[in-house]
Amino acid sequence: MSKSKINPKGSSWDELEKQLFTSEEIAESEVRVAIINEMIKAREENGITQKQLEAMSGVKQPVISRMENGTSDPQLSTVLKILNSLGKTLQIVPMK
């Protein structure tokens, strides 16, 4: 976290975010959000409820809900269980 003075009044989120977090923290957050958004998209496109995904993956529905709501930072193994159940995987690619 940067140590500059924070002035939220009149700031856009992007400006405030840059004051609060390092560029590395922002990049990590963007990757996490993208992964979870793709997971939600795959679940919804297949008409699968969180409860059904629990049965398919073995990951409890409340855990899935917290992941989708952004209130938890899941372990990689948990993400992979869910993605596998949705017929998806992660791929390591260069950052843009």
Is the separation of the CB atoms in 4 and 19 below 8 Å? Answer: yes
Residue ranges and CATH numbers for the domains of the chain are 13-85 (1.10.260.40)
Q: Rounded to two decimals, what is the model's pTM?
A: 0.78
Q: What is the mean pLDDT of the chain?
A: 89
What percent of the chain shows pLDDT beyond 70? Answer: 90
Task: Output b/e per residue, 67-93; b: 16+ Cβ within 10 A.
Answer: bbeeeeebeeebbebbbebbebeeeee
